[in-house]
Amino acid sequence: LRCVRRGRGTQVGRVQRARLWRVMERFTADLASRDSATYTQLCDQAASVLADGGPRYRHVVVDEAQDLHPAQWRVLRACVAPRSDDMFLVGDPHQRIYDSRVSLRSLGIDVRGRTSRLRLNYRSTEEILRWSASLLDGQPVGRLGEDDDEDGGRDSLRGYRSQLRGRTPAAHGYGSQDDEIRALIQQVRTWIEQDGV
């Protein structure tokens, strides 16, 4: 019941951990009795099978790396032998949709001193980039692959830019979800009338 949980959100006390452990034991036993497994358990099993058979590839390319779970990283690590050019990782911690922060070093993936930040955005206009960056201002975002707890690594959107230009985003507040939906429907109707979509 002792494990480091820094960065995992809600704190769990000793009594809660014991209860959660019992729930997980029952859950795992129930899955096993039905010859089933979770996706994460399947990833762990795949990593074990791959590790037993030895690395199968010289290089691995990973996109959207910010959203991978530790079990998925273990599969990737088992696919390729550790070398200086074993993995090419691309990810943006500011676009993280799952809270799967992980110490890559603890999984045998060393990115220290080998990272580059891409600061030119080709997807959004400068106006959208500035507006969305203002929403994240002051929010701590860990760097991709760095051990946040060990080196205090934080990332920011400072220096990001776009060569695309467009209108400044419009943000409106509404008193209820129904009001918001009505306004959205009206906006779509306006676009259809204006642009003939």
Is there a single domain that holds both residue 30 and residue 67?
no
Does position 155 have pLDDT exceeding 50, yes or no?
yes
β-pair partners for 80: 57
- Residue 41 in any domain: the answer is yes
**H runs (alpha helix) in 6-125:** 14-33, 39-53, 70-79
Is there a single domain that holds both residue 62 and residue 144?
yes
Backbone angles phi, psi at 6, to 5 degrees: -55, 140
- Mean pLDDT across 30-56: 93
Enter the pTM of the model: 0.72
- Mean pLDDT across 42-48: 95
- Residue 146 in any domain: the answer is yes
Count of other CB atoms within 10 angstroms of residue 12: 14
Q: Specify the pLDDT at position 164.
A: 95
Q: Specify the pLDDT at position 151.
A: 46
Q: Specify the pLDDT at position 145.
A: 67
- Rounded to a whole number of angstroms, the distance between the first and last alpha carbons of the chain is 58
Query: SS in 3 state form for 171-184?
Result: CCCCCCHHHHHHHH
Nearest to 144 by CA among 79, 194, 182, 88: 88
Q: Specify the pLDDT at position 149.
A: 46
**Banded model confidence at residue 132, pLDDT cuts 50, 70, 90:** confident
Question: What is the pLDDT of the chain when averaged over all its residues?
Answer: 86
Digit-coded pLDDT (tens) for 56-91: 899 999 999 999 999 999 999 999 999 888 999 998
Whole-number Å distance between alpha carbons of 153 and 117: 14
Is there a single domain that holds both residue 27 and residue 47?
no
Judge whether 108 and 77 are in contact, CB under 8 Å.
yes
Does position 153 have pLDDT exceeding 70, yes or no?
no
- Residue 71 in any domain: the answer is yes
Does position 94 have pLDDT exceeding 80, yes or no?
no
Whole-number Å distance between alpha carbons of 131 and 106: 36
Count of other CB atoms within 10 angstroms of residue 79: 19
Is there a single domain that holds both residue 118 and residue 174?
yes
Is there a single domain that holds both residue 46 and residue 64?
yes
Does position 165 have pLDDT exceeding 60, yes or no?
yes
Range of the domain at 87: 37-191
Strand, helix or coil for residue 34: coil
Does position 186 have pLDDT exceeding 60, yes or no?
yes
- Residue 178 in any domain: the answer is yes
Is there a single domain that holds both residue 50 and residue 134?
yes
Residue with the bigger pLDDT between 84 and 156: it is 84
- For residue 120 the two structure tokens come to 């030119």
